[in-house]
Structure 1
Amino acid sequence: MRFEPRAGLAMAAAAMLSLAGCAQQAARTPPGPQLAVVEATDARPARAETLLVFVHDDTTGALPDRDAFLRQAAQAIGGRVAAVRVVRPGYAAPDGRVSPGTRDAGIGDGYGRDAVEALGRTIRNLRGRNTRLRTILIGEGGGAALVANLAGVDPGALDAMLLVRCPCTLPEWRSLRARSDARFRQPVQSLDPVQVAGGIAPTLRAAIVVGEKDAVMLPRFSRTYAEALALRGIATDFRRLPSRGSDALDDPETIQALVNLVRPRSRS
């Protein structure tokens, strides 16, 4: 399902976003440490046409290996594609390196401004001086919330985003989880993706994917965010996968949604 805003709303949203974007561009990401990065392909960002950056979900164990997904995505996109996985603050890379910062407790507390700024610094470092590089961020679960927040706080850091299983209306998601886990009643400093969506660049391309059978990341959390983007003038590809739950990343439609982010926009 593709959300397209009405012309009047699109123009108003674009004007608002232009002002917000100028303010965000003026407030450059402050210097600081870089997050650990795991390369999934042999291509290097300095010579690539497209950079895929995967941001993982909250987890209590080892990080899931998403290299097979990234290699499949790179092949489907074609051309010179570099793909990496970013290790969120406090998490450990497979080689034992630990990203600077505090690891989240898995209660929606890992998407605050410090984590957003660390992700932005790391992406800008990866991009280097390759000004023609298309940068697409892929977030899964909590990583999707972090990517969405980056798009709102530092819009110049990415050209497109694919959000899979996003808790994009953070208070509602935490309220749902609190019914079975009292830890989710604790206050957190995370940013709510819907609340920072006004800072997203109008030129951003977005795809949002969720499984219809997902009992943790309910489809309505993603749909509400997709509608919020559309109201701000951003054409958004929203897909509810009828046969998927927490395994939405593994569906061929997810790869297709990612490929569509690279293709030229169709004229209606």
Structure 2
Amino acid sequence: MPWPPFQTYWPSGMLWRFSAAQFNRHEHPIGCTIRRSVISRKGSATLLRHIFSIFILLLLTPVAYGQCDDINNEVWAAAACTKVKTFPSPDQSAHPTLMIVLHGDAPLHPPDYQYRLAQTIASNSKNLIAVGMLRPGYSDPEGRTSDGVKGNAVGDNYDQPRVDQIAKAIQKLKSVHQASHTILAGHSGGAAITGNLIARYPELVDHAVIVSCPCDINQWRRGMYKLTQKPIFEGNLQTESPIDHVDKVPVNTKITLIAGESDVVAPPALTRQYFEALQTTGKHPELKLVDGGHDIFTSPAVVRVLLKAVDDKSLKKQ
């Protein structure tokens, strides 16, 4: 059945006419009405290409957003869908604390320890929303994948696009949950992202907990090359290191640095250098050296620090 006469005026005020042969449907996909008539052959192909391009641009973004609208499991921000898992504490107020937990590079397996840590902190806290976040391009053991490019996990994926995607997702979560204040905890590569993020987005995070950090990326790569003899760690990268941006970190951002005393992957010397660089620019970071190697993020020592951060009344904002 041919569709009845339709017409539409686009924002420009121009009236477009299409033939019934070219549009044999009752309703336009985006709800516009179009008057049935005949387009002259001259220029019709070009005109239709432009119209269909507009239709595609209008349709694609809502469809993508519609597939990323479960805020407890995914966040649509910066035109990207970032996967999360959300764990609320038993007691909630209108303005809870928000904690974001970032995993490391996880070169050998899909990461999920950020979820376990977030759940542990939430179940032992009050008035907290703890969110384990899956970094751009990564997949978790359930097969969920955040938008973005994972990279090679050799210091190449702590750059501006990844930091921006994570920061925009945190901004969205802060708004949705009406957070009183925000804690960002990152491990290893996630710690490097945390250091870069608090410099690039100075008002976003109130307390950064940076654990096992390769805070000088190229120095860390040189150490990894000596440790592994893998060519992928040879040479310098054009990338961003937290130690290069300490002057941009605001004085009022609380920073807790934690390193394992026997860590050979991200030696504590890298954390200490970042600590000293922050001090030279007037910041007041806290440095903790704990027993253990690189994989200390879920250790009791780190859990105690995170639980204390949740209870820190001095950071709360209304």
Give the TM bin, normalised by the shorter chain: 0.7 to 0.9
1:248 maps to what in 2? 296
1:235 maps to what in 2? 284
Matched, 1:117 2:134: no
Matched, 1:143 2:190: yes
Q: Percent identity?
A: 26
| C-alpha contact 1:89 1:100 (8 A) present in aligned 2 | yes
Secondary structure of 1:227's counterpart equals helix
2:70 maps to what in 1? none
Secondary structure of 1:36's counterpart equals strand
Choose from 210, 222, 227 the match for 1:163: 210
Q: Give the CA deviation at 1:187.
A: 4.6
Q: Which amino acid aligns with 1:244?
A: G
Q: For residues 89 and 79 of structure 1, what CA distance do their matches in structure 2 show?
A: 29
2:200 maps to what in 1? 153
2:51 maps to what in 1? none
Residues 193 and 155 (structure 1 numbering): CA distance in 2 closer, same or farther, change over 3 Å?
same
Q: For residues 284 and 92 of structure 2, what CA distance do their matches in structure 1 show?
A: 27
Matched, 1:210 2:259: yes
Residues 47 and 185 (structure 1 numbering): CA distance in 2 closer, same or farther, change over 3 Å?
farther
| C-alpha contact 2:89 2:128 (8 A) present in aligned 1 | no
Choose from 237, 241, 246 the match for 1:188: 237
Residues 232 and 75 (structure 1 numbering): CA distance in 2 closer, same or farther, change over 3 Å?
farther
Q: For residues 119 and 132 of structure 2, what CA distance do their matches in structure 1 show?
A: 12
TM score, norm. by length of structure 1: 0.79
| Larger Rg over CA atoms | 2
Matches within 5 A, 1:30-45: 31-41=78-88
Q: Give the CA deviation at 1:131.
A: 5.4
TM score, norm. by length of structure 2: 0.67
Residues 114 and 208 (structure 1 numbering): CA distance in 2 closer, same or farther, change over 3 Å?
same
Matches within 5 A, 1:9-158: 31-41=78-88, 47-60=94-107, 61-76=109-124, 78-128=125-175, 132-158=179-205
Secondary structure of 2:155's counterpart equals coil
Q: For residues 116 and 261 of structure 1, what CA distance do their matches in structure 2 show?
A: 23
Q: Which has the higher contact order (CA 8 A, sep 6+)?
A: 1
Structure 2 unaligned blocks of 5 or more: 1-76
Q: For residues 212 and 141 of structure 2, what CA distance do their matches in structure 1 show?
A: 24
Q: For residues 195 and 43 of structure 1, what CA distance do their matches in structure 2 show?
A: 40
Q: For residues 152 and 284 of structure 2, what CA distance do their matches in structure 1 show?
A: 34
Q: Give the CA deviation at 1:58.
A: 0.5
| C-alpha contact 1:207 1:261 (8 A) present in aligned 2 | no
Q: How many residues align?
A: 235
Q: Deviations over 1:227-263 (max 9, x none)?
A: 122222222121111x311232233221232234342
Residues 128 and 203 (structure 1 numbering): CA distance in 2 closer, same or farther, change over 3 Å?
same
Q: Give the CA deviation at 1:219.
A: 0.5
